[in-house]
Amino acid sequence: MVERIEDLNLPNAVVGRLIKDALPEGANVSKEARAAIARAASVFVIFLTSSSTTLARKQNHKTITAANILDALKQLEFESFVEPLSTDLEAYRKAVKDKKDKAKSSSATAVANNSSANDEEMETEKTS
Amino acid sequence: MVTLKTFYLLINQLIAIKSFARFQKMASEELFSAEFSEEILDKQDDKEEQLEIVDEESEIVAEVKEIETESADIAQAATVEKANSTSENSGPEARLFQLPLTRIRNLMKLDPDMNIASTEAVFVVTRSTELFIESLAREAFSYTTQSKKKTVQKRDVDLAISSVDSLMFLDGAMNF
C-alpha cells in the first residue's frame, strides 16, 4: 500500500515538462495552474482505474488488462486517446519483447558457445 | 498537515467516483443486456446470418485467448517491469513514458475493487495520463489566449474543466 502521502502526487517536474511540451513556445504556467493539472491527473488515474475495474469485473477477470483500459477510455469519452495509445502499447510490447529476446539470446549464445565447444571437442576426439 | 488533508479529500473523491462509476455501470449494463439479447435472437432466428455470427464468435474467442495469455504473462511481466523501468530510464532509446509507473500503480491501488493490474495496463494508464495532462493544458491555454495573456492561471484550468464534457468528473475535485 501507499507508505507516504506524497507518493500519491505526481512529480511536479514531470508534470511541468509535459505541460510545457504541449503548449506553444513563450507560454507560461502558474504554479497554481500546474498543481491543479497535476491533481486533475491524479483524479483521472483513479477515475480510469475504477471504470476499468468495472469492465474487467463484467468479464469475470480479476486482472485489469490494457484492453480494459482502452475500453474504459472509450466509455469515458476519451476516444481520441485510444489510437495513439494503441501504437504506444505496440511499441511498449516490442520493447519488452526485445528485452526478453536479449536476455534469451545472451543466455542462448552462452549455450551455443558451450555446444560449439562440445562440437569442437567431438571433432578433436574424431580426428584423434 | 496539508498533505494529510489532501489525502482524505482524495479518498473522498474516490468514493464519489465509485458511486458515479456504479451509476454508469447500471446504465451501460442495460445497454449491454439489450445488445446481448439481440444477438441471441439473431442466432435463433436468422440462420442466414449465422456465418457472420460465427465470425464474431471466433473473434471473441480470439480476444478471450489474448486476454488469457496476457494475464498468464503477469507473473513474468511483473519482473520484466522492474528491469524495464530501471533500464528504460537510462536507456538510449526514446523514452516511452515520462511519469513514474510505480506512482501510477500506487494511485491505481487506491481502488479497493482492483486486484491486479497487468504491467501493460499500468503502462497504458501512465501514457493516457500524460495525454490527459497535455490535452487539459491545451484546453486551459485556449482560455489564456482568449484573455490575451501568456501565463496559464488556475482560473483557466477551472474554466476548461467546467466547459468540456469529458472533464465533468473533475468538477468538485479541484476545490481543495
Q: Give the ipTM.
A: 0.81
| Residue boundaries of the structural domains of chain A | 1-77, 79-128
Contact list in B for residue A71 (CB cut-off 8 A) is none
| Contact between B129 and A1 using a beta-carbon 8 Å cutoff | no
Compare all CA atoms of chain A with the CA of B156 and give the residue at the minimum distance: A33
At the second CATH level, the architecture of A1-77 is Orthogonal Bundle (1.10)
Q: What is the mean pLDDT of chain A?
A: 87
What is the β-pairing status of strands A28-29 and A63-64?
unpaired
pLDDT for B44 beyond 60: no
The percentage of chain B sitting over the pLDDT mark of 90, rounded to a whole number, equals 36
Cα–Cα distance for residue pair B55/B43, rounded to 1 Å: 12
- Mutation choice for A interface testing from B25, B115, B124 by most A CBs within 10 A: B124
Closest by CA to B6, choosing from A36, A30, A14, is: A36
Rounded to whole angstroms, what are the CA distances from B97 to A12, A18, A92, A93, B28?
Answer: 15, 11, 9, 13, 32
Mean pLDDT of B5-13: 63
- Mutation choice for B interface testing from A4, A92, A100 by most B CBs within 10 A: A92
- Mutation choice for B interface testing from A4, A15, A47 by most B CBs within 10 A: A47
CB-based burial label for A38 (10 Å; 0-12, 13-18, 19+):
buried
Contact list in B for residue A2 (CB cut-off 8 A) is 106, 109-110
More confident residue, B48 or B10: B10
Burial annotation B120-146 (CB, 10 A radius, 16+ → b, else e): bbbbbbbbbbbbbbbbbbebbbebbee
C-alpha cell of residue A46: 483513479
Residue type (1 letter), B132:
F
> What is the 8-class DSSP label of residue A24?
P
User: B129: distance to nearest CA of chain A, Å?
Assistant: 6
Segments in B46-153 forming alpha helices (H): 50-72, 74-90, 101-109, 119-146
Each residue's pLDDT tens digit, A90-103:
999 999 999 999 99
Contact list in B for residue A77 (CB cut-off 8 A) is 165-166
pLDDT for B171 equals 84
pLDDT for B65 beyond 90: no
Each residue's pLDDT tens digit, A65-75:
999 999 999 99
| Contact between B113 and A68 using a beta-carbon 8 Å cutoff | no
Q: What is the mean pLDDT of chain B?
A: 71
Report chain B's terminal Cα–Cα distance, integer Å. 13
User: B159: distance to nearest CA of chain A, Å?
Assistant: 11
Mean pLDDT of B14-26: 64
| Contact between B129 and A37 using a beta-carbon 8 Å cutoff | no
Each residue's pLDDT tens digit, B151-167:
999 999 999 999 998 99
Contact list in B for residue A85 (CB cut-off 8 A) is 124, 127-128, 131
